[in-house]
A and B are shown apart, each in its own frame.
Chain A
Amino acid sequence: MPDKPKVPGLFKGLGVTLGILKDTVVDGANTVQYPHEKEAPPIRARGVIALHEDNCTACMLCARSCPDWCIYIEGHKQLAPPRRAGGKPRQVNHLDRFDIDYALCMYCGICVEVCPFDALFWSPEYEYSEPKIADLLHDKEKLGEWMETVPEAPALEAGAQKK
């Protein structure tokens, strides 16, 4: 049997709404007037995915794991100069196209998780709506620009790197 409340629930409810009314008038609302002032999302917010192109090897793991098939990758193999003098030229994958279609993306982040070379990063940036849906296809230059908005990775916990 719960304790009988000191104030009947009806009046308690009226008190709650009146209290919030007072708080809003005195201290201001909890909401942000969006176009005039912007809310700072938490640094790990899933806003947009940025591409660090130099790390990408066009291995296609992200494209294959994407549930929406919204990542389009094209690449070709080419020869790079050998690392040591006198060695054979190396064969590397060169990235020709890396597009993410944000009209399809559902922000699951599997591509970021699955990337073995740390080429994809979450950025908290969220203002990239477009009047035309086709413009939501971000090519690799645009995805590269998002890299500037990627926050520094937080420091690892003590002992995290010990084998």
Chain B
Amino acid sequence: MIQLAIEIPYWGQSLLRVLGGLVAVLLPAGTIVYLFLFKMMSFMQSRLGPMEAGPYGSLQLVAEVGKWMQKEDLAPDAADKHIFKMAPLVVLLSTFLLVVIVPFGPDAYFTNFSVGVFFGLAVASVSVLGILIAGWASASKYSLLGGLRAAGQLIAYELPMVLATLGVVIQAGSMNLQDITVVQNTGAIFGFSGLGNPFIITQFVGFVIFMIAVQAELTQAPFDMPIAESELVSGYMTEYSGFRFLIFFIAEFATAGVFAFIASVLFLGGWGIPFSWFGWDTIDDVPDWMNLVGPLIMFGKMLFLTFIIMWVRFSFPRFREDQLQTFAWKVLIPIALLNTAITAIFKVAL
């Protein structure tokens, strides 16, 4: 774990991990909401967005959270109250479980999972459960339709996501995200090691499929059928107010951040800089200061990827339900399967 001169007791380590997890989930979420949802979307519509709360509206989010916190925690009469109240927490839980596998530096990780990719893809599906619970327990037809649409969509797009990841796993020869990072940064392109070998080059098809699937998993437009506001009010979130809506909201953008973290590990080389720059050979040669620089590099890559996600979100109109399913099953999955097969052939042949 973290190499420090003083011995940290177990409870201290746990506390540090909890705090680190909170920062790793909430900081990207806040940054994405302010930078992209408030400002970038406004600029793309030729307006300035929030400007009053704090300099350039930077405290707008604090005001919004305050507003949500003081609203009444309503539940419909017919709703299954306990389950209704639990659902947002289940969705947020999957986000926190997901961030566990992300390495932020040579020693700065929450756990060093040898099957990290497998765990991540499994845990990402827990949010589907939360959304289905929310849709069913609300006892509202809009919520139910939204929840069913979400379930159909998230399951359909999980498959291309898994298959796109599979290409990376085959090429790296490991399911450990730390190993995948190291492989990319120690690699070389035709003997040239100045860039490492980020998998976005060899697995570009996989990267595109992964980002499309992430867009759909996050139910961001053009894949926002489950919360289509012109048809379903707000889908599975219709009946939620105040604090519980806030949790859904945080979960949406925190998950965007965490998926961007995972995508940057899988395809952009994660926290690392090409090891040849400093003459490192293995992960043991990496000095301790990378534990501080690594998270910053990750944050930068996360911002770049969420910029793409949000850019697409603000540019395209929504798919129809059948187009959405057709796109997943008839386009993405065959391409992803083909990509996996070709990667496997190259891996064996070379």
Contacts and interface: CB of A to CB of B under 8 A. Distances in A.
Are chains A and B native binding partners rather than an unrelated pairing? Answer: yes
Interface of A: 10, 13-14, 16-18, 20-21, 23-25, 29-31, 33
Contacts of B40: 21
DSSP majority for the A interface? helix
Interface in B36-59: 40, 42-48, 51
A87 to B, nearest CB: 66
29 contacts: A13-B315, A13-B316, A14-B312, A14-B315, A16-B315, A17-B311, A17-B314, A17-B315, A20-B43, A20-B45, A20-B46, A21-B40, A21-B43, A21-B44, A23-B46, A24-B42, A24-B43, A24-B44, A24-B48, A25-B43, A29-B42, A29-B43, A29-B46, A29-B47, A29-B48, A30-B47, A31-B46, A33-B48, A33-B51
Nearest to B47: A31
A45 B47 CA distance: 23
A14 B44 contact: no
A20 B315 CA distance: 11
Nearest to B40: A21
B46 A30 contact: yes
Interface residues of B, number: 14
B315 A24 contact: no
Contacts of B315: 13-14, 16-17
Contacts of B48: 24, 29, 31, 33
Q: Which 5 residue pairs of A and B lie closest in terms of their CB atoms, listed nearest first?
A: A24-B43, A30-B46, A31-B47, A17-B44, A17-B315
A29 B39 CA distance: 12
Contacts of B312: 14
Nearest to B48: A29
A76 to B, nearest CB: 52
Contacts of B43: 20-21, 24-25, 29
Name the residue in A10, A29, A30 with the highest tally of chain B Cβ atoms < 10 Å from its Cβ: A29
B7 to A, nearest CB: 50
Nearest to A9: B316
A71 B109 CA distance: 74
Contacts of A10: 316
Interface string B301-319: 0000000000110111000
A24 B77 CA distance: 47
Contact of A14 (B46, B51, B311): B311
A24 B46 contact: yes
Contacts of B44: 17-18, 20-21, 24
Nearest to B314: A17
B223 to A, nearest CB: 14
B87 to A, nearest CB: 33
Given A20-B46, A25-B43, 20 more contacts: A16-B315, A17-B44, A17-B314, A17-B315, A18-B44, A18-B311, A20-B43, A20-B45, A21-B40, A21-B44, A23-B46, A24-B43, A24-B46, A24-B47, A29-B43, A29-B47, A29-B48, A30-B47, A31-B46, A33-B51
Nearest to B51: A33
A24 B47 CA distance: 7
Name the residue in A21, A23, A29, A30 with the highest tally of chain B Cβ atoms < 10 Å from its Cβ: A21
A115 B20 CA distance: 73
Nearest to B313: A17
B37 to A, nearest CB: 14
A25 B45 CA distance: 11
A33 B42 CA distance: 13
Contacts of B47: 24, 29-31
B8 to A, nearest CB: 45
Interface string B290-307: 000000000000000000
Contacts of A21: 40, 43-44
Contacts of A29: 42-43, 46-48
B334 to A, nearest CB: 20
A18 B310 CA distance: 11
B261 to A, nearest CB: 23
A14 B312 CA distance: 7
A10 B48 CA distance: 25
Contacts of A30: 46-47
A13 B316 CA distance: 7
A13 B315 CA distance: 6
Name the residue in A17, A23, A25, A33 with the highest tally of chain B Cβ atoms < 10 Å from its Cβ: A17
A13 B222 CA distance: 13
Name the residue in A23, A24, A29, A30 with the highest tally of chain B Cβ atoms < 10 Å from its Cβ: A24
